[in-house]
Structure 1
Amino acid sequence: MPKAQLKKATPVMQAYQAFASAREPARPMARNFAIAFVAGGLVCVLGQAVSDFFVYVCGFSRKDAGNPTVAVLIAFSCLLTGLGVFDKIARFTGAGTAIPVTGFANAMASAALESKTEGWVQGVGANMFKLAGAVIVWGVVAAFFIGLLHTLVAPGR
């Protein structure tokens, strides 16, 4: 919206903003960073444990263990979302669980759960990708251009 169309803050609104800002509690940034770092690390440790299971127990190669590992993490996140546990964990850990693939799975599963009363097609199917749709579209577009660039730069490889 152009700045000319924005509503100017009245003196009362400005005074209230100053009043609210002065009384807003300080956020514990260092604590939040540490918790997010540890939580993200624990997600990675869990992913490595699942990958090692596929390598050492199921006989997969390291390269072939990647896809089923991601699928297990996604399924686990969706299960925790459905049980209402993921949101409690994410509330405490912040970006530590929101950034990895687990957060993406939670975003899709929670959107699907919110829309299940509208039916499978119009509710779950249509609304599941509202939040994740942009990520998927831009991921595909980026992959196309990177593949095109790779083909043009290194065609013989």
Structure 2
Amino acid sequence: MAKQASPKSKSYKNVPAAFFVGGFICMLGELLRQLYIQWGCGKPEASAWVSITFIAITALLTGLNVFDNIAKFAGAGTIVPITGFANSVAAPALEFKTEGMVLGLGAKMFIIAGPVIVYGTLASIVYGIVLWIIGLF
């Protein structure tokens, strides 16, 4: 029943759109990184500024209801980079802001991104322990 009810995927259209939009985002990130380096940032600092810039742009586009249209067109091309994470924090915050600062915005902001943060942190600890054990032998 679920297969019959779900829309058919047009992978001939979706895959190239995701590839080109995701590639454009990554290319823009590299251009920003080079620009920040030209402005005097070191490589690690420039990379951090690129992440900050993408988070700010995505939050702004989410607030203006533009990011959803881009995501509908590009699919995974917007989800994979840091833009997808920023959208997953900003969208629920905007959706539940009418419920108040604590129970709405504060409680719902990490409803999607929270599990990603928790399991990402847990996985990094497990991988670190495994690498440490491997390094002992």
Whether TM exceeds 0.5 here: the answer is yes
Q: 1:129 to 1:25 in 2, by over 3 A?
A: closer
Q: 2:25 — aligned with what?
A: 43
Alignment of 1:139 onto 2:120: yes
Larger radius of gyration: 1
Structure 2 counterpart of 1:149, from 123, 130, 133: 130
Structure 1 counterpart of 2:45, from 39, 61, 64: 64
Structure 2 counterpart of 1:94, from 75, 90, 105: 75
Deviation at 1:154, TM superposition (A): 2.8
Rounded Cα–Cα distance in structure 2 between residues aligned with 1:103 and 1:71: 13
Rounded Cα–Cα distance in structure 2 between residues aligned with 1:127 and 1:25: 29
Segments of 5+ residues of structure 1 without an aligned counterpart are 1-16
Q: 2:34 — aligned with what?
A: 52
Q: 1:141 to 1:48 in 2, by over 3 A?
A: same
Q: CA RMSD in A?
A: 2.0
Rounded Cα–Cα distance in structure 1 between residues aligned with 2:25 and 2:91: 19
Q: Deviations over 1:54-87 (max 9, x none)?
A: 1112x12223322121111111100100011101
Deviation at 1:50, TM superposition (A): 1.4
Deviation at 1:26, TM superposition (A): 5.4
Alignment of 1:110 onto 2:86: no
Q: Deviations over 1:4-58 (max 9, x none)?
A: xxxxxxxxxxxxx6xx95xx9854311211011000001101111111111112x
Provide the secondary structure at the position in 1 that maps to 2:42.
coil
Deviation at 1:111, TM superposition (A): 0.5
TM-score in terms of structure 1 length: 0.78
Moved over 6 A (4+): none
Rounded Cα–Cα distance in structure 2 between residues aligned with 1:25 and 1:67: 39
TM-score in terms of structure 2 length: 0.88
Segments of 5+ residues of structure 2 without an aligned counterpart are none
Rounded Cα–Cα distance in structure 1 between residues aligned with 2:37 and 2:7: 48
Rounded Cα–Cα distance in structure 1 between residues aligned with 2:7 and 2:108: 36
